[in-house]
Structure 1
Amino acid sequence: MLLSHSTRMFEMVTSFNRSMSDHLTLRSLSFNSSGAASHCKSWVSRSFHGLLVIGSLVSFLLAMGCGYLYVFPSFSQAIHGSGISKSNSSTETCNVFHGSWVQDYSYPLYNSSQCPFVERGFNCLANGRKDRDYLKWRWKPKNCDIPRFNVHVVLEKLRGKRVVLVGDSMSRTQWESLICLLMTGVEDKKSVYEVNGQKITKQIRFLGVRFSSFNFTIEFYRSVFLVQSGWVPKNAPKRVKSTLRLDKLDDINKQWINSDVLIFNTGQWWNPGKIFSIQGLLFPGW
């Protein structure tokens, strides 16, 4: 459509240029009887070529301008139709990271005291905490609602899959919570077990829980920086206790491959307090 509009505009300006050319040619013929007329003819010829170039440029700009005005509304609608919209507008898409915690007395979604995969230190109810208001909160995005967790739908979607979480103790507690959530939809609780028969502790680098009736596993690998640590170079400052190889993934990274879902968590470790006061950074060739 843009091409057809541009062609019509170009034809209109070309027609105008031709009429101007014929008119100027007739005028130039009337001056052929004298030397002054010859000089005038040369001037008119140069002027004609200049007008022709200017006319072609104007025709191109007009064609592109008309095409832009014709096509842009459709282009804008296509963007909005695909889910991309401006922020702070009535059609803003759901941003799950922009919101706040709101009270919801239908929570919690599971009883931590009945879940065998909750670490003892994080089991507040089992440790004697009396109040339960801290359990009655859920995350509410600003412009939308997150659907309530449907354990049966999630279990079916994870059937035959492998989910891997990599990070620190925060990742481990999220891993525990996900397992406890999913266990509420499993009838035979004994069909859910840690693959190596280990208890959940912070000292173990690898933990994996298998949901045998759904043929999937949820695994956790402790790797707070995600990269390899190394020895301190000879000339390093005394405050450097260890180094990080930014060009090398953690030596357990081969265990992460072939996962269907891979979730990393390392952000809170990359701050000045943990990096420059405690750790040294080892770059290639240092």
Structure 2
Amino acid sequence: MICLLMTGVEDKRSVYEINGNKITKRIRFLGVRFSSFNLRIDFYRSVFLVQPGPVPRHAPKRVKSTLKLDQMDHISNEWTDTDVLIFNSGHWWTRTKLFEMGCYFQVGGSLKLGMPTTTAFKAALNTWASWVDTSINTNRTSVFFRTFEASHWSGRNRNSCKVSRHPSLDTKGKDRSSISDTIIDVVKKTAAPVTVLHVTPMGAFRGDAHVGSWSDNPSVPDCSHWCLPGVPDMWNEILFSYLLSKNGTYLQ
């Protein structure tokens, strides 16, 4: 989004990260100010949305950390005083990024060692929905939730990545995602108005658009993330269309 907006800025020096940090997805927080337009875009890295926690007392040795499914990430305190909030989650809700790393689920003081990731994800989203309903003034703040983007891993263990040369004509079932279905289901039940940016189907055709072997580590192909410019730019175009429509601006 920042790159897209930069195309409309004449003096590139007027755009800067407020703490002087380099713009990278690995940092916990980035604040990019467009000083000529009185605009600031903040990025918060909270991949689970809920609060990570330490190992509880008397936990089994395999438990190295927890996710507190009934508590929002503490960084959410920074999100309430804003004009637009855009959420997404799901990419890290896998066994490899959780259980194999020793991270298990917790509700209150109770460990939920046998809880499936799908159940935990829905519990976390319900915590998020409750937070939106009670903490966000939707008369001021527009809230969006982007669904899970399609990935194009293949093979029995979904560990093979072969980037195609062209967009496909068949989604091969990748236009559906249980994660996206959960997001849509939870958002439908929120009292606050939340707009779902449902991007799963549109990316399903674009097996050609992933990073592949052009990643930071070419020996490990990537069929989850996207090349830029590319598919994520269209997500931003869709978002902008919603914002312009809400503000009463006629779309050309």
TM-score (norm. length: structure 1) = 0.36
Name the one with the larger strand percent: 2
Name the one with the larger helix percent: 1
TM-score (norm. length: structure 2) = 0.40
